Amino acid sequence: MTDPFRPLGVTADKQRRRMTIQWGDGHTSEYSFTLLRLACPCAECRGGHEKMGGDPDPVLFDLPEEDTPQTRMVKVEPVGMYGLTMEWEDGHHYGIFNWSFLRKLCPCPVCRG
Amino acid sequence: MRNVFRWLFDPWVILGAVGFGIGLSGAALLLLWLTRTTDLPNAEATAAITVIALPTPTPVTPSPTSPAPVTPTVTGAPPPAPANLAIGAYVQVTGTGGDGLRLRTDPGLDSDVRMLGLEGEVFVIQDGPREADEYTWWYLVGPFDETRRGWAVANYLSVVQNP
């Protein structure tokens, strides 16, 4: 059974400023670094613990890309089998992106409906 | 009139019907076997992560290396409980060797197991500490799925950076 939330591979391309995830159901998601930073689910970026979780804000997908220390990814690491955490050039490294959230964050036309 | 149905009781007719039934059943079983779907074993490994670096070289400052200290380990004993656990802290299940951590309905080894926290899974501490059965227990809740909750021993928890 193909699991849409099971990632097969993650590639972070600092040259293109894109992170790509290959999913178990054959789908491929490509995220701009800007989108990932804007969608950070941590309490600091969301404005409090009570606002964590939930689906990505649709307005994020319409915001322009930026090349700033806030959107330059330094590294990306797995958090167990739970998801990913990223560190940014401005030092921010608190967001934990679980696989379900990342799949919902896919900006491709198919996923955005 | 009786001769019309007599052929039904002919041994050869009965034998032929039974043989046809067996052949039909065998064909159906063969078809099911050929069209079966094989479930792939659930891979436990996390996805491989590849990072494509920027083309400009990054200067690397060599750091002095020293032999890693040898830490004596006691086979079978649980790891020591971390001292920095507190309500509101985000913790990760660690040190279970992939077995996971039992989350129970109450503090104590005799209380019912609600579910298993997976190795690497992140929770937030919402209550505790409680002492029971010579362990310190904390009440954990999943940050994105509040149905994942229960009391767990501190020995298999490590604090993660506050998300």
Of the candidates B39, B55, B120, the beta carbon closest to that of A80 is on: B120
H helix intervals, A47-113: 99-104, 109-112
- Best of A1, A16, A82 to substitute, by most chain B Cβ atoms within 10 angstroms, is A82
With an 8 Å Cβ cutoff, are B52 and A82 in contact?
A: no
Q: Find out whether B139 and B125 touch, Cβ atoms under 8 Å.
A: yes
Of the candidates B51, B120, B121, the beta carbon closest to that of A12 is on: B51
Query: Which H or E run includes B96?
Result: none
Query: Which H or E run includes B135?
Result: strand B135-141
With a CB cutoff of 8 Å and minimum separation 6, the contacts of B54 are A14, A15
Q: B48-52 and B90-93: which strand pairing?
A: unpaired
Residues of B with Cβ-Cβ distance to A94 under 8 angstroms: 161-163
Note the pLDDT tens digit of each residue in B54-94.
Answer: 776 555 555 555 444 443 333 455 677 777 888 888 898 88
With an 8 Å Cβ cutoff, are B144 and A101 in contact?
A: yes
Residues of A with Cβ-Cβ distance to B52 under 8 angstroms: 11-16
> Where is mean pLDDT largest: A49-53, B146-150, B153-157?
B153-157
Note the pLDDT tens digit of each residue in A34-47.
Answer: 999 999 988 778 76
Q: What are phi and psi of A38, to 5 degrees?
A: -65, -30
What is the C-alpha separation between B129 and B154, in angstroms, rounded? 9
Q: ipTM value of the model?
A: 0.75
Summarize the confidence of residues B15-43 as an average pLDDT: 80
pLDDT at A29: 95
Of the candidates B48, B121, B122, the beta carbon closest to that of A9 is on: B48
With an 8 Å Cβ cutoff, are B49 and A78 in contact?
A: yes
